[in-house]
Amino acid sequence: MIVYTVWVSDTSVTVEGALEVVPLGDALGAEIRGVDLAGDLSDDLVAAIRRAWLDHLVVFFRDQELGPDEFLAFAQRIGEPVEYPFVRGMDGYPEIIAVTKLPDETVNFGGIWHSDTTYLARPPMGTMLIAREVPPAGGDTLFASMYAAYETLSPGMQRMLDGLSAVSTSALADVSKTREDRIRDNGNEATESETFEAEHPVVRTHPESGRKALYINPAHTARFVDMTEAESAPLLQFLFEHAVRPEHVYRFHWEVGSLALWDNRCAWHNPINDYNGSTRRMHRITLAGDEPR
């Protein structure tokens, strides 16, 4: 059912058509219908897409026929594409990386709950992923709202977390495991041996919505600032489990031509590794962000 409609216009007519935004989950997720992302997108249409994205944290488009040029062009309308630190981009398109799992591989890329590269001083604002080849079954991606994760904590827990910062690092074992194969085949020689580390607030205020979101994640957060990993572990584990309660999560099923745009400032994602023996091939663009506050 279409829940609400955003009307957009161009310079030649008052009303161009209806952009349908269909919420998919209570906590996050919406499908945007009625738009061809390879077309000439008006400023009004891009603004409507961006509003839906900010409202729903992750938005999905179906049946998009985008080559690398069109994919990059759409990303540039939403934000600033940047190169991923550990994996080389495609020939001629350094901002686009291939996220691929082949039939003989058993570990998928990024197969753990996370927000992308929070070990950077300025983590990405968002990420775009488009499906090029999908397995006959499986390969879905889970998304979780960090607004909901924070807002459903007790007032006392919120007050305590509001004053904490945490250390994110690229050196955690789980992160290394999920990128080993891709670094071996496509690694960026300038960064693959580096370790990145950054301190960020445990609760960040979204720079556009003004809402507070939990800003830690199992893949990159090692400890709280001024605490040891052992001291930090019990509370981090509680928060990691709380964040992915079923009511905070939406599961997306990919088809060829599906495109997802998610907000790394307030959402986690986790690609499910349940399709051994099949190929899953995606193209990804990362959008530059700001310093979390």
Per domain, the residue ranges of the chain are 88-287
Q: How many residues does the chain have?
A: 293
Which residue, among 55, 93, 100, has the nearest Cα to 71 in the 3D structure?
A: 93
pLDDT of residue 172: 80
Is-catalytic flag, 269? Answer: yes
Longest dimension (CA), the chain: 63
Q: Check residue 90 and report its DSSP letter.
A: B
Per-residue pLDDT of the chain (293 residues; tens, 9 = 90+): 333 344 443 332 223 456 899 999 999 999 999 999 999 999 999 999 999 999 999 999 999 999 999 999 999 999 999 998 888 999 999 999 999 999 999 989 889 999 999 999 999 999 999 999 999 999 999 999 999 999 999 999 999 999 999 999 998 845 444 443 444 445 444 445 678 999 999 999 999 999 999 999 999 999 999 999 999 999 999 999 999 999 999 999 999 999 999 999 999 999 999 999 999 999 999 999 999 99
d(CA 231, CA 235): 8
d(CA 249, CA 27): 7
Token pair of 25, please? 């989950």
pLDDT of residue 186: 52
pLDDT of residue 44: 95
Give me the catalytic one of 56, 88, 114, 206.
114
Query: Hunting for tokens 């556009």 — which residue is that?
Result: 208
Give me the catalytic one of 182, 248, 280, 284.
284
Give me the catalytic one of 220, 269, 280, 283.
269
Phi, psi of 49 (to 5 degrees): -60, -45
pLDDT of residue 61: 98
Pairing outcome for strands 30-33 and 58-61: parallel
Give me the catalytic one of 56, 88, 116, 182.
116
pLDDT of residue 17: 54
d(CA 218, CA 66): 33
CATH code of 88-287, in short, is 3.60.130.10
**How crowded is the C-beta side of 139, counted as CA atoms within 13 Å?**
24
Pairing outcome for strands 280-287 and 259-263: unpaired
pLDDT of residue 85: 85
Is-catalytic flag, 200? Answer: no
Its pTM surpasses 0.75: yes
**How crowded is the C-beta side of 277, counted as CA atoms within 13 Å?**
3
Q: How far apart are the first and last CA of the chain?
A: 37
d(CA 107, CA 125): 26
Is-catalytic flag, 284? Answer: yes
Q: What does the buried/exposed string (b/e) look like for 85-100 if buried means 16 or more CB atoms within 10 Å of the residue's CB?
A: bbbbbeeebebbbbbb
